[in-house]
Amino acid sequence: MAGGAREVLTLQLGHFAGFVGAHWWNQQDAALGRATDSKEPPGELCPDVLYRTGRTLHGQETYTPRLILMDLKGSLSSLKEEGGLYRDKQLDAAIAWQGKLTTHKEELYPKNPYLQDFLSAEGVLSSDGVWRVKSIPNGKGSSPLPTATTPKPLIPTEASIRVWSDFLRVHLHPRSICMIQKYNHDGEAGRLEAFGQGESVLKEPKYQEELEDRLHFYVEECDYLQGFQILCDLHDGFSGVGAKAAELLQDEYSGRGIITWGLLPGPYHRGAQRNIYRLLNTAFGLVHLTAHSSLVCPLSLGGSLGLRPEPPVSFPYLHYDATLPFHCSAILATALDTVTVPYRLCSSPVSMVHLADMLSFCGKKVVTAGAIIPFPLAPGQSLPDSLMQFGGATPWTPLSACGEPSGTRCFAQSVVLRGIDRACHTSQLTPGTPPPSALHACTTGEEILAQYLQQQQPGVMSSSHLLLTPCRVAPPYPHLFSSCSPPGMVLDGSPKGAAVESIPVFGALCSSSSLHQTLEALARDLTKLDLRRWASFMDAGVEHDDVAELLQELQSLAQCYQGGDSLVD
């Protein structure tokens, strides 16, 4: 890979993971499209960490995500399983049978108008049946940005989004999509609902071999593979798929980093059975993923992992609908795009293994995430001015369904602040003016951020990164920003007709004592269950002894975070 990039292979497991992943890859694609803009800061993030170069059968260069995703039958809508980039008649020629054929065709889903518009901008299907991709600038990224003569792309509406592929702007490699045909995405029958069902999927030779083949394909072309990031649904049977996938990775690629992001949609109102299943799947998923991953981080806009309903989290400068996966996944993808910065840097990257080691000492392999989206920097303000507004409170909104972080103890943290113009990093005080705070006396943005973290969490092991590169939120990212200028500056009033294209974000991963309470509460909820009422979950491959062992593991994991539930020992 160019520049000796430390490659990462991404696994997306589940439908909500698909939503988060679609936003994530759209944001990477938008950043690639901006790489040649002279107004942009120099490349701080290395796209080769996540992307791979390749060629179609017709010699056209491609640049596609290094990605394996698994989802259920009926989840792709109009997207083809082999993707659209390598479309070729030779695929059809693979059928060698010369006898009588009977063709059974499933009803085709209508293509989302947004995707029709996107594909017409990206390439054309020529008369010989070959997909011709339009020119790729510098051999990478999407087609050139729309000009005055190019019609602007359609923006998908919430009503038009049924599945994640309805708003995915990125072409995928034919080896990316792996469909689990034995379970259905739609309807009430044949659903992948339980952890045991998910585990059994990757015990079947067919699916295990398919996953291993795809892993080998991507891994063997890497020069400096640093590890794997798994985006995995926790609330349904994909928690079992993720657990088996992490176990397989640990067995076959020991020494590589495995960072798992356990994803849960917004608050649930789907009846008792769905909520009980969600509880069981989340508990089994967390424990098993922790056993086989370097680091595990739950990601959710919900207020709790347990049965007791809690309102979703709120953001001062965001207006979102917690019932829409399209909205929730966009916010989580933005946080993910920020907290993963350390192992995607061009210069002096922190490896996945090193990041996990820093955060997970003494068995604390589960961490929480938080973010300020967008970071509130008003016109005329400096970074010290903005940070001082938070006072002594923990600034970020919690994103791991572990409750408010205020009053909890942080053991270690990795913090990223991105998208602040260099001119705003330090305070521009008139000579002779005494600095209002110690932060205003600092001479660099990096020093300000480190000083701020030291003030907030004295004596805590902290890693911090300050980037000029903002987070991309151009369409199809939903309109969530109520009072931001196009570059993401927070304003008193909403600018008329101005679309926000990028924002500054402050994100953090934290090993926190809040996990002690969260994991113990999860164990308490499980002990209250009468498992005889949920025989269908147990019939999917889980024994009563497994539940007893699960409770022990949860309680042991909770004890790792007991070193003080407050900042005062």
How many angstroms separate the first and last alpha carbons of the chain? Answer: 48
Q: Which amino acid appears at position 205 of this protein?
A: P
What is the distance between the alpha carbons of residues 397 and 507, in angstroms, rounded to a whole number? 9
Q: How many residues does the chain have?
A: 569
Going from the C-alpha of 272 to that of each of 236, 277, 542, the distances in angstroms are 14, 9, 20
Q: What is the pTM of this model?
A: 0.89
Are 65 and 12 spatial neighbours (Cβ–Cβ below 8 Å)?
no
What is the distance between the alpha carbons of residues 203 and 186, in angstroms, rounded to a whole number? 24
DSSP 215: H
Are 126 and 132 spatial neighbours (Cβ–Cβ below 8 Å)?
yes
Backbone angles phi, psi at 142, to 5 degrees: -85, 180
What is the distance between the alpha carbons of residues 387 and 377, in angstroms, rounded to a whole number? 9
Q: What is the DSSP string of 453-494?
A: HHHHSTT-EEEEEEES--EE--TTS---BSSB-TT--B-SSP
Q: Kindly give, in sequence order, each residue whose CB lies less than 8 Å from that of residue 236, ignoring residues fewer than 6 positions away.
A: 14, 191, 192, 193, 198, 277, 278, 281
pLDDT of residue 346: 94
pLDDT of residue 17: 98
pLDDT of residue 531: 81
Task: Write out the two tokens for 49.
Answer: 């960490």
For tokens 């005329």, name the residue.
Answer: 380
Determine the Cα angle at 20 with ends 542 and 493, to 5°. Answer: 140
pLDDT of residue 139: 45
The segments of the chain whose pLDDT lies below 50 read 1-2, 38, 88-97, 103-105, 107, 123-139, 141-151, 153, 496-497, 565-569
Task: Write out the two tokens for 230.
Answer: 């798994």
> Percentage of residues in the chain with pLDDT exceeding 70?
80
Are 441 and 435 spatial neighbours (Cβ–Cβ below 8 Å)?
yes
DSSP 137: G
The residue among 11, 40, 5, 7 whose CA lies nearest residue 24 is 11
Task: Write out the two tokens for 382.
Answer: 């400096």
